[in-house]
Structure 1
Amino acid sequence: MIITKTMRTLAAATLAIAVSVSLAGCEGQIPQPSTDTTADTSTSTTATPDLTEAQEKAIRKAILDAYQAAGDSKNTDGLDSRVTGPALDIYSSRITIARTTGTLDKYATIPADIAQTVIPTDSGWPRAVFSITTTTEDQQSKRLLVMVQDSARSNYKLWGVARLFQGTTLPSFAVPTIGASLGSPTDSGLVATPQDAVNQYADVLANGSNSKYAANIADDELRKNLATTTQQVADGMARNNGTQQQVFTPVDGAIHVMRSVDGGDLVVAQINSQWTRQAGEGRESQPASNDERALFGDAKSTSTIRVSYVNTIALYVPAKDSGKQITAVGADRQVVKVEAL
């Protein structure tokens, strides 16, 4: 009996160690069972933030260490262990281009320090944390980072990066010790649901002032720059009887939403786009930028070229009765593929 009892004790201790080790590898808050057996299960407990500020800092450092190492080595092997979604598509393309040009795009820079973090209290998965960095050493604008965790036992990964537009004012959020609330693509009480806002913005990117949603969307830096570039290319192609078309498509499920204390939502989403350019008769369509040329490489040109972009868009969607427009507060845009058709 003494031997049996000892073996049971050892087995229980071994199990306890195994459980503690498996949970130690997780990032974030793991729900714990209540120790109060007399508690009324119909009464909800006060929600607590998913992470402490110290945990957010450690997670962000682990992500950025992997991010920086990939950029320094110009090698994406293993990058997907810490970077995912549009951030992975964009950074992988920039690293590929850097192998040709020898220099990584300055827009790939992510400062190590932050000005603010927004940590939710939601207990389920997937979950996200929004953090806003400081400006870069060369005074580029702050970055909005979206870090996501798909399950209780998976690591947080960098899902999206948006470079905040100059002069942008973000909405207010609950302090990290209190915690914010994750929104959903179908949140109501806004001028549009987050998903509808993304769809409308994609239409405005494609059609500009001719979009039926143009009045709903405030003008912004990305739209201005895109319109200027598109017009310059269009003018050049028109002289040779060429044509062009851009199509912007929101990616299903590629959206993260954080509710603000102002009554609106901060929405970060992925919109992919394809820019097809066709030269006039007897002419060839060529890449239109250094990045496009680096990705096109030695491929044979034809009369038609198709260029694929990944766009990470950050939108503020205000409350329905605010009288305000949907406003883009930041973005990142990167060519990821160039092909002759």
Structure 2
Amino acid sequence: MTRRTRLSVAAGAALSLAFLAGCSSELPQPDPEPTAETAPPVLDGDRLDRILTETAATFQKADEAKDPEALAARITGPALEVRQAEYRLAEATGGSTAPSPVTTATQVEAVAATYDFPRTAMVITQVPEGANLPLLLTFAQPDARTPYKLWGWVELFPGIETPPLIHPDTGSQQLAPDSEGLIATPAQAVERYVDTLNKQDSEYADQFAGDPYKDSSRKAITDLDSRIEAAGDASISYAVGDDAPQALATADGGAIVLGELSSTQTIKKTVPGATLTVGGEIGALLGQDKQVRGTVAGVSEVLVAFYVPPAGGDAKQIRPLGAKTVLTEVSRNDAEAPAAR
């Protein structure tokens, strides 16, 4: 007989009557600590410093060995693709193209304030040694078991004015790709920007302020097309990247958004019997045979940062803040050679 059964038998009918009469004492109720209405910042200063230090050490170790596998400890997503591509270009060009300078020494820091995942942190850096402009670095933590890793970075445009960020002691609102309250959601900002790159008469053209990346890309492809017009033509197209954008709220209710896209530059031979060759980075990745018989296509990874203003405010345009692009792969299709006349 268990202790519980012995107690029940000993108490007899009197205990039963006590329960029937409603004379039992109430069971104690849990009294949990109240949940804060505002989520705390996801990182304190010491933890953010440790992430930055370990990221810098990862870059140093991998860069010295040009070892793509060594990057994975603290670098992920588009940032990983960018650095791996820079290693391939350095090898293909015999070192004349070097990986871009990166620093984690910061000027401004911002971290998400949320209980949920994924989580984001952004920093504006000092000017890296060997460079002329500071960087915007974005770190992401997809889940509790994965450490923060560098997700992407851009070089800020010359003279750009960055929006006011929220101090990391308070934390910034973590924004999803479809977050509203802005003149465009983070995902829409990237999608519409791509549309303006593909079409100069895009319906979204007026929603974006001008930016050096768009201007230089258009000029580069126009100049190339002019140089090869005796034998072929050159064109470029853009697409939204596979990774959803990262976004944090700014102090004025807007957002900094870092989005991934890709560009495909196509060089096409259009004149039968003409000779068309390519140089530069595309030529380097093509290898020994640099002749274009049909088409040659170079795909680049592109990251662009935006300031997206809050809905209902005075600002009506999305401002590109910086960009980063690197050639990732080259392919050729000789079957598209022009037919002999």
The answer on whether the counterparts of 1:218 and 1:328 sit within 8 Å (CA) in structure 2 is yes
After superposition, give the CA deviation of every residue in 1:139-178 in whole Å (9 maximum; x if it has no partner).
5211111111121121211110111001111111211111
Matched, 1:309 2:300: yes
Deviation at 1:138, TM superposition (A): 3.6
1:270 aligns with 2:260: yes
Amino acid at match of 1:221: P
2:32 maps to which of 31, 39, 43: 39
Identity %: 27
TM-score normalised per structure 1: 0.83
Aligned positions, number: 302
- Separation in 1, partners of 2:98, 2:156: 15
1:210 to 191, 197, 201: 201
Q: Is 1:286–1:305's contact at 8 Å kept on the other side of the alignment?
A: no
- 8 Å CA contact retained: 1:276, 1:304: yes
Judged with a 3 Å threshold, the aligned counterparts in structure 2 of structure 1 residues 202 and 288 are, in CA distance, closer, same or farther, namely farther
Partner of 1:221: 212
Matched, 1:298 2:288: yes
Aligned Cα RMSD in Å? 2.1
- Tell me which amino acid in the other structure corresponds to 2:260: Q
How far did residue 195 of structure 1 move?
1.1
AA aligned to 1:39 is: P
TM-score (norm 2): 0.83
Q: Which amino acid aligns with 2:155?
A: R
Match of residue 191 from structure 1 = 183
Quick check: which has more Rg, 1 or 2?
A: 2
Hey, what does 2:331 align to over in structure 1? 339
Shift of 1:105: 4.6
> Which residue identity lines up with residue 250 of structure 2 in the other structure?
S
CA displacement at 1:304 relative to structure 2: 0.9
> Does the residue aligned with 2:112 lie in a helix, a strand or coil?
coil
Q: CA separation in 2, counterparts of 1:106 and 1:164?
A: 19
| Contact 1:116/1:131 (<8 A) preserved | yes
Give how far 1:279 is off: 1.6
- Structure 2 gap segments, 5+ residues each: 1-28, 334-341
Partner residue of 2:95? 103
What amino acid sits opposite 1:227 in the alignment?
Answer: R
1:197-224 deviations in Å (ceiling 9; x for gaps): 11111111222x3222211111111011
Structure 1 unaligned blocks of 5 or more: 1-35
Output aligned runs, 1:1-341, within 5 Å. Answer: 37-39=30-32, 44-103=36-95, 105=97, 108-207=100-199, 209-240=200-231, 242-281=232-271, 282-289=273-280, 291-299=281-289, 301=291, 302-321=293-312, 322-341=314-333
- Contact 1:283 / 1:303 at 8 angstroms: preserved in 2? no
**Which residue number corresponds to residue 15 of structure 2?**
none
1:78 deviates by 3.0
Mark the CA change 1:303 to 1:239 in structure 2 (over 3 Å): closer, same or farther: same
Matched to 1:83, the amino acid is I
CA contact (8 A) 1:51 1:119 kept: yes
